[in-house]
Amino acid sequence: MADNNILNDQEQTKVADDSFDTAGFLLDYASHWRWVIASVVVCLVAAYFYISTIVPVYQVNASIYLNNSESQSKDAFSLDPNSPLIAMKSYIDETELEVLKSRNNVIEIVNSLGMAYSYWREGTLRDEPIYEQYAVSASLDSISLSVLSSPITVTVDNGSEKEKFDIEVSTSFQGVSEVQSFDDASLPIDIELSHGTLTLARVSQVPELVGTEKIIIRNPREVAGMLSAGLDIQFAEKSPTIVRIAYSTTTPKQGVDVINTLVDFYNRQIIEDKNRSAVQTEAFILDRLVMINDELRDVEQRLQDYRQAHNIANFDQQVSTNIATQTSTENQLAQIEAELQMMSTIESIIRQADVYTNVPSVTSETALTSIIEAYNKRVNQLNRMLETSTPDNPLVAQLQEELTRDKARILQNIAAVRQSLEARRRSVASIENRSAAQLSSVAPIDKGLQEIFREQQVKVNIYTFLLQKREEIALQKTLATPTARLIDNPLVNGAPISPRKAINYFIALLLGLGLPAAWIFVRRFFFPTFKDQEELQRLTQVPVICEICLDYNKDNRAIVVGEDVSTSIAELFRLLRNNIRFTKNGAAKKVILVTSSISGEGKTFVASNLAVTYALANKRVLVAGMDIRRPMLAHTFGFDNHKGATTFLSGQTHDLEDVIYQSKESPNLYVLPAGPVPPNPNELLLSDNMKEMMAQMRAKFDVVILDTAPIGLISDSFLIVPYTDVQLYVARASYSSKNALKTLHEAVRLNRLPDAYIVLNGVNMATGRYNYRKYGHYNTGGSHSYGYGYTSDTLKTVTPPTAK
């Protein structure tokens, strides 16, 4: 056994699966540089067409300042300049941001800007959006538009005459397609659809129709959903008063209008929230004014009738003074009674369990008014929060708890105010009693007149009081100001956010580079083969003695070596012969065994051509077909397989010369066919005739080359190994599996192949990685395969398959 072929246990188990062959992968990748370039070009072209077919999406940005300063609007019944205002931050929290872009608000924007109708101009690769500069407009009545179940597509093109148009309308109704076409139609035109009546009209501001316009009509709610998805509203970092708004749109000018309209609608809604309490109080006052006005009219009529009935003209000064005093007290009592009545009204509203509604603040008590206003603010905030949240929301529950506490405070203050009013009423009542006593001497007629007069004055005072409060509320509504103000007007980013050309081209470049790499990786993972000697040497410690290239001459010959042949493949077989000679004790290595792991790796091809090279070197050479299960050697040299090695081993002949033929390739080359396939191959190889046959071969020939069976399939070759001096294991580039090396390593480890070398067959040296090694006819280009593997005995000629 040769020392240089002894592998330790660690080396014997080294196979391709142990680690990823990075160097081999990179070399394989570089050898396919044409594929890489083609892949990059294809991906970049695909990216170009992708970018060309996608409508650019732009982002419109704006910033809103939330006014936290006190508003100039006033409370319902106070013109106090120090009155607290509703700060914007109390309205805008995380829930308020959702309200800001809620579907109801967005639908108002859609209806205001007519976004249910989108206009496009047809292009070669993509349609371009049109905003405000379309030549033909479409309209559908609001009811039909609100129940639109599927989009309506209208295509408008120029007709054969000026101001004549070819129109096509397509939609579907209840799953049934509906298409209508009109040639050379005049505008305006009404088109009856299942969805309703569609009206198309000419836009006078645009002089002519350029190209083909397309109008897409959608349900406003569907458009609102798309608009809401494109809105991004967030508080600025570390700032509770700045809100950033970003809107993604294919039409930048429309995006600017959307943001401006959104802010306008929101400010309008905030003002309505601020004035909601004032509106309710105003309604209460108007109801009271109507009632007092009717009562005052009745009193005046009674006074007039009383004067006429009793012929009364004037009163003296004393009566007037007493009446004035009593009237004053009665006015005070009436005002106290009115406030007590209001306290009862407020109390009845507050005591409604689990009901939170705005409470009128018609009271002269400043503390109670302040508490009621704070309560009304929280009620407004709760109502807005419930628009986008459920009652189970923790924020809603917390706010309801605060409102419950406010109710308790209001009831406590009402009780205190009622006590104060009761005390005032008792005091004023005592004054009124004294005045009444002084008037007791007045004649009954005068007394009746004064009672009517006093009642009249009370009604007038109450009426005047209510009129004053109504004016204060009107002033408050007039002074209510917006709380959101644009500090950065909507601005369109210069470059579109989608598609981003640089990123798309970069991804296409990476994809173009990555697809070949992925293909190579998958191929190497699922089909783990090796391509050349360098890659094979990284996978095994068994020496690779030579590599045989493909036959580039394309002549379909199984024997590629000849006396006057100097092709690259012939020279490599000569190199293999010399390499065997220069191995340790190479001159003494007379019997050469050629095997492989599986069929198709070219062991017969290598054995045959190696034998020819020895014969051309004036050596008496015998090439023997010892693959007695699937013989092929005879067909390679053009002999039949009717007799051969199995004939001698089975004892049918005792003269080896009877089964040996001289080859026409060289007078020094002799061929021993395998012979007929026996029923007991193993027993024949173990027989004494085998020893005798090998002894005669050694005695009669300078070199004996044995074409044996693959060691990965059967054990026949291991029975022949003891008669050999060197073992050549043939592997085929881009064909043999890396895992097949396990068979070789195991055989070497168990000393079944004591002096083994690897011959790498079928190497494609026309690839880029072999440019530096070309010589002779390597650069003739192309690739050619040769005979290898097994065939049946019925084959008379060899048609070598193409190497993969």
Q: 494-503, pLDDT tens digit by residue?
A: 788 888 888 9
CA 121, CA 515: separation in Å to the nearest integer? 37
Q: Residues 6 or more apart from 107 whose CB is under 8 A from it?
A: 220, 221, 224
* pLDDT over 80 at 786, yes or no: no
Q: Rounded to 5, what percent of the chain is helix, strand, coil?
A: 50, 15, 35
395 has pLDDT over 90: no
Decide if pLDDT at 291 tops 50: yes
* 653, 701 contact by CB (below 8 A): no
> Order of strands, edge to edge, in the sheet holding 231-235?
231-235, 242-249, 58-66, 484-492
Report the candidate in 115, 117, 128 with the shortest Cα–Cα distance to residue 254.
Answer: 115
Predicted local confidence at residue 479, as pLDDT = 59
Residue 544 in 3-state DSSP? strand
* CA 802 to centroid of chain Cα atoms: 46
User: Mean per-residue pLDDT for 471-489?
Assistant: 70
What the block records as the tokens of 307 is 């004067």
Burial class (CB in 10 A: 0-12, 13-18, 19+), 251: buried
pLDDT at 778 over 50: no
Distance CA 692, CA 689 (A): 5
Burial of 4 per CB tally in 10 Å (0-12, 13-18, 19+): exposed
Q: Do 449 and 307 touch, CB atoms closer than 8 A?
A: yes
Residue 162 — φ and ψ, nearest 5°?
A: -65, 140
Q: Name the amino acid, one letter, at 482.
A: P
Q: How far is CA 262 from CA 63, 145, 395, 480, in A?
A: 12, 22, 25, 19
Question: pLDDT tens across 429-457, in order?
Answer: 887 777 776 566 555 666 677 777 777 77
- The reported pLDDT for the residue numbered 83 is 34
Question: What is the distance between the alpha carbons of residues 210 and 666, in angstroms, rounded to a whole number?
Answer: 86
Of 385 and 567, which is predicted with more confidence?
Answer: 567
Residue 800 confidence (pLDDT): 34
With H, G, I as helix, E, B as strand and everything else as coil, classify residue 282.
helix
Structure tokens belonging to residue 652? 């049918």
- Measured CA to CA, the distance from residue 159 to residue 183 in angstroms comes to 7
CA atoms within 13 A on the CB side of 614: 28
Tell me the C-alpha to C-alpha distance, in Å, between residue 730 and each of 238, 251, 620, 673.
74, 69, 24, 20
CA distance 746 to 18: 16
Average model confidence (pLDDT) for the chain? 80
C-alpha 287/C-alpha 466 separation (Å) is 10
Tokens of 763: 């190497």
Regarding predicted confidence, which is higher, 745 or 360?
745
Flag whether pLDDT at 111 surpasses 80: yes
Lowest mean pLDDT among 178-187, 424-433, 588-597: 424-433
Q: Which residue in 502, 495, 493 sits closest to 48, CA to CA?
A: 502
Compare 607 and 280 and report the one with higher pLDDT: 607
Q: Residue 69 above 50 pLDDT?
A: no
Residue range 166-177: mean pLDDT, rounded: 87
pLDDT at residue 277, as a whole number: 67
User: Which of the four pLDDT bands, split at 50, 70 and 90, describes residue 473?
Assistant: confident
Distance CA 246, CA 255 (A): 9
Looking at per-residue pLDDT, the higher value among 728 and 770 belongs to 728
- Alpha-carbon separation of residue 645 from 158, 520, 677 (angstroms): 92, 45, 10
* Pairing label, strands 242-249, 703-707: unpaired
Q: Among 249-258, 355-364, 662-671, which stretch is predicted with the lowest mean pLDDT?
A: 355-364
Q: What is the pLDDT of residue 388?
A: 74
- Judged against a pLDDT cut of 90, whether residue 312 lies above it is answered with no
Tell me: the pLDDT tens digits for 541-571?
899 999 998 876 666 688 999 888 888 899 9
673: left (phi > 0), else alpha (psi -120 to 50), else beta? beta
C-alpha angle with apex 53: 52 to 54, nearest 5 degrees? 100
pLDDT 10s digits, 14-52: 444 455 667 777 877 887 888 999 999 999 999 999 988
Distance in angstroms (rounded) separating the CA atoms of residues 804 and 802: 6
- Does residue 228 have a pLDDT over 70? yes
What pLDDT is attached to residue 798? 33
Confidence class for position 94, pLDDT limits 50, 70, 90: low
Say how many C-beta atoms besides its own lie within 10 A of residue 144's C-beta: 16
> Is the per-residue pLDDT at 376 higher than 70?
yes
Q: Read off the pLDDT of residues 2-17 as tens digits, 9 standing for 90 and up.
A: 444 444 444 444 444 4
Task: Name the residue with higher pLDDT: 569 or 89.
Answer: 569
Any idea which of 6-10, 175-179, 225-229, 557-561 has the lowest mean pLDDT?
A: 6-10
| pLDDT (0 to 100) of residue 125 | 85
Q: Give the integer Cα–Cα distance in Å for 712 and 739.
A: 11
- Determine if the peptide bond prior to 499 is cis (ω within 30°): yes
Q: What is the pLDDT of residues 644-668, one digit of tens each?
A: 999 999 999 989 999 999 999 999 9
Residue 86 has pLDDT above 50, yes or no: no
Q: So what's the pLDDT on residue 46?
A: 93
| pLDDT of the residue at 64 | 83
Rounded mean pLDDT, 242-261: 88
Q: Is the peptide bond before 188 cis (omega within 30 degrees of 0)?
A: yes
DSSP label at residue 38: H
pLDDT of res. 95: 58
Of the candidates 723, 629, 608, 708, the one whose C-alpha atom is nearest the C-alpha of residue 675 is 629
Mean pLDDT of 59-78: 59
Q: In the prediction, which pLDDT does 6 show?
A: 41
Q: Name the more confident of 386 and 223.
A: 223
Question: Is the per-residue pLDDT at 357 higher than 90?
Answer: no
Share of the chain above pLDDT 70, in %: 82
Which string of b and e fits 298-307 if b means at least 16 CB within 10 Å?
ebeeebeebe
pTM: 0.55
Q: Which pLDDT score is estimated for 1?
A: 40
In this prediction, residue 81 carries a pLDDT of: 38
Cα distances from 777 to residues 32, 561, 568, 610, 744, in angstroms, run 22, 14, 6, 20, 33
Q: HEC profile for 319-368?
A: HHHHHHHHHHHHHHHHHHHHHHHHHHHHHHHHCCCCCCCCCCCCCCCHHH
Per-residue pLDDT of 616-634, as tens digits, reads 999 999 999 999 999 999 9
- Tens digits of residue pLDDT in 520-542: 888 777 767 777 777 788 888 89
Burial of 499 (0-12, 13-18, 19+ CB in 10 A): middle
